[in-house]
């Protein structure tokens, strides 16, 4: 006689599987056995919509697909089963020709005696420019039809401006864009930034200046001013080279906007131009020296970083020999502006008043002073 444990095992169904690593599940119970191949496991809808089988009340998943086999190999039977939740419908039509043909069939089913025609694209909503929906708590966004290239470009440029002003990194913006489908993708913003850079190079060309092949090491400063990986890579690749822009080109680009904002007055053509210089750290072992200019006439916005324009930039330290090489063209430009002014549009000649701003060390190096002394104790 069989003991109670053996009898219990025979009466209870068993499942042999390694799911989800393998999609095959062997199922057996007294008198029958099945082999299941899970094609799509689906998901259970919210409790409000969830349905159950009769009798044992098994939960019924939505979007569930399985291939079921039974009997021995010689008489094997296989069937593919699919479960989808659908709302109760009054009419059901199908067409393999077109969406408009399906709409016509629906009109006939609705009223066979009346000749009514519906537009297929409008009937199915194919004319919609944007569709958003949610599946398994994951958001999807579909755009249908032609894109408005001008609007897309405008959004990408606005995103570039926001990222630059707020110092948002590529990684941070990528995370932000994943939350909202209305924001341009990060790759689009990066591409637009490159295009803006190219356009600005056409308006205000950037010149490369060869510096000394090796610059002396400076004690490492633990304070890091920049930690953007793209900036760091660019700096490391440009060791031994500097970049400069003509200050005259910058002024010619800025004057129309300053006139429009009434910062400059054409009846009193004077521009107060400030030159500033300093060094900053990019990571711990890479340093940059930057020289900028700003328009003191725009005093209300002078504190904003976007109103300071880079005219000289090179990786390295503050050293007289290096500054002499890279600043020589700037000195020539400033002397010309001071003596001759700037003639621009409608024959107006702008008088340039020059100012200089820096810390003591940078100014002393520019004046070729090694250290403070009795004659130059405070330059």
Q: What pLDDT band is residue 226 in, cutting at 50, 70 and 90?
A: low
pTM of the prediction? 0.52
Whether 185 and 214 map to the same domain: the answer is no
Q: Of 175, 194, 213, at which residue does a domain stop?
A: 194
Q: Which of 9-18, 232-241, 247-256, 292-301 has the lowest mean pLDDT?
A: 232-241
> Nearest CA to 99 among 115, 122, 68?
122
Q: How many domains does the chain have?
A: 3
Whether 317 and 227 map to the same domain: the answer is yes
Mean pLDDT across the stretch 111-120?
67
Is the pLDDT at 246 greater than 90? The verdict is yes
Is the pLDDT at 72 greater than 80? The verdict is no
Distance CA 283, CA 231 (A): 10
Whether 190 and 213 map to the same domain: the answer is no
Distances (CA, A) of 110 to 86, 102, 115: 20, 12, 10
Whether 144 and 211 map to the same domain: the answer is no
Q: What is the pLDDT of residues 304-322, one digit of tens each?
A: 888 899 999 988 888 888 8
89 located within any domain: no
Q: 18: domain range?
A: 4-83
- 276 burial (CB, 10 Å; 0-12 / 13-18 / 19+) is middle
116 located within any domain: no
64 located within any domain: yes
Q: Of 194, 213, 238, at which residue does a domain stop?
A: 194
Residue with tokens 């850079």: 197
Q: Of 62, 83, 104, at which residue does a domain stop?
A: 83
Beta strands in 9-155 (DSSP E): 14-17, 24-29, 32-40, 51-52, 59-60, 64-70, 77-83, 130-135, 138-143
94 located within any domain: no
Top pLDDT among 363 and 237 is at 363
Top pLDDT among 180 and 301 is at 301
Whether 211 and 182 map to the same domain: the answer is no
Whether 218 and 362 map to the same domain: the answer is yes
Backbone torsion region of residue 179, taken as left when φ is above 0, otherwise alpha when ψ lies between -120 and 50, otherwise beta? alpha
């Amino acid at each position: 006689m069989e003991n109670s444990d053996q009898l219990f095992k025979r009466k209870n169904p068993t499942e042999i599987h390694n799911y989800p690593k393998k999609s095959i599940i062997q199922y057996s119970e007294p008198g029958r056995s099945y082999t299941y191949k899970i094609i799509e496991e689906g998901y259970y809808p919210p409790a409000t919509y969830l349905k159950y089988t009769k009798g044992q009340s098994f939960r019924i998943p939505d979007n569930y697909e399985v291939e079921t086999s039974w009997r021995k190999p010689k008489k094997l039977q296989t069937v593919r089963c699919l479960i989808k939740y659908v709302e109760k419908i009054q009419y059901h039509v199908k067409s393999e020709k077109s969406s408009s043909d399906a709409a016509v069939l629906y009109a006939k089913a609705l009223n066979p005696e009346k000749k009514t025609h519906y537009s297929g694209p409008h009937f199915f909503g194919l004319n919609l420019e944007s569709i958003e929906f949610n599946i398994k708590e994951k958001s999807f966004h579909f755009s249908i039809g032609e894109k408005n290239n001008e609007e897309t470009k405008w959004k990408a440029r606005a995103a570039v401006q926001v990222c630059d002003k707020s110092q948002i990194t590529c990684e941070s913006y990528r995370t932000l864009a994943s939350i909202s489908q209305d924001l341009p993708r990060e790759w689009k913003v990066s591409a637009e930034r490159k295009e803006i850079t190219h356009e600005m190079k056409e308006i205000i060309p950037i010149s490369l200046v060869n510096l000394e092949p090796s610059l002396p090491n400076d004690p490492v400063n633990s304070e890091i001013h920049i930690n953007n990986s793209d900036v760091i890579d660019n700096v490391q690749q440009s060791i031994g080279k500097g970049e400069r822009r003509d200050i005259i080109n910058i002024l010619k680009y800025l004057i129309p906007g300053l006139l429009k904002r009434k910062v400059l007055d054409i009846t009193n053509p004077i521009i107060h131009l400030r030159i500033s210089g300093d060094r900053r750290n990019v990571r711990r072992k890479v340093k940059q020296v930057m020289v900028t200019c700003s328009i003191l006439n725009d005093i209300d916005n002078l504190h904003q970083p976007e109103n300071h324009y880079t005219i000289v930039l090179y990786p390295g330290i503050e050293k007289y020999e290096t500054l002499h090489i890279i600043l020589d063209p700037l000195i020539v430009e400033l002397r010309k502006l001071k003596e001759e002014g700037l003639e621009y549009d409608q024959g107006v000649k702008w008088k340039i008043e020059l100012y200089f701003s820096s810390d003591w060390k940078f100014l002393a190096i520019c004046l070729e002073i090694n250290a403070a002394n009795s004659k130059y104790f405070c330059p």
